[in-house]
Amino acid sequence: MSEPQISEQGALVLFSGGQDSTACLAWALERYARVETVGFDYGQRHAVELEARRAVRRRIAEAFPAWAARLGPDHELDLTAFGAIGETALTADRAIEVTERGLPSTFVPGRNLVFLTYAAALADRRGLKALVGGMCETDYSGYPDCRRDTLDAMQSALNLGMEQDFRIETPLMRLTKAQTWALAKALGGEALVAITVEDSHTCYLGDRTPHDWGKGCGACPACELRARGWAEWTAAGQAALAS
Q: List residues binding Zn ion (CB under 5 A).
A: 203, 205, 216-217, 220, 223
Euclidean distance between CA atoms 34 and 36, whole angstroms: 7
For residue 40, give the 3-state DSSP assignment. Answer: strand
Rg of the chain in Å (alpha carbons): 17
The closest of 29, 10, 2 to 195, measured between CA atoms, is 29
Q: Which is nearer to Zn ion, 48 or 77 (CB)?
A: 48
CB of 46 to Zn ion, least distance (A): 11
Per-residue CA distances from 5 to 2, 29, 33, 112, 136 (Å):
9, 11, 10, 28, 24
Cβ at position 18, least distance to Zn ion in Å: 12
CA distance 5 to 30: 9
CB of 209 to Zn ion, least distance (A): 9
Q: How far apart are CA 233 and CA 151, in angstroms?
A: 28
CB of residue 206 to Zn ion, shortest distance in Å: 8
176 SS3 class: coil
Residue closer to Zn ion (CB basis): 195 or 203: 203
Provide the β-strand partners of residue 39: 76
Nearer to Zn ion (CB atom), residue 184 or residue 205: 205
Largest CA distance in the chain: 49
Residue 114 vs 203, nearer CB to Zn ion: 203
Beta strands in the chain (DSSP E): 7-14, 32-41, 71-78, 130-132, 167-169, 210-211, 214-215
User: Is the CB of 143 or the CB of 166 nearer to Zn ion?
Assistant: 143
Closer to Zn ion by CB, 124 or 198: give it. Answer: 198
Minimum CB separation from Zn ion for residue 26, in Å? 23
CB of 211 to Zn ion, least distance (A): 10
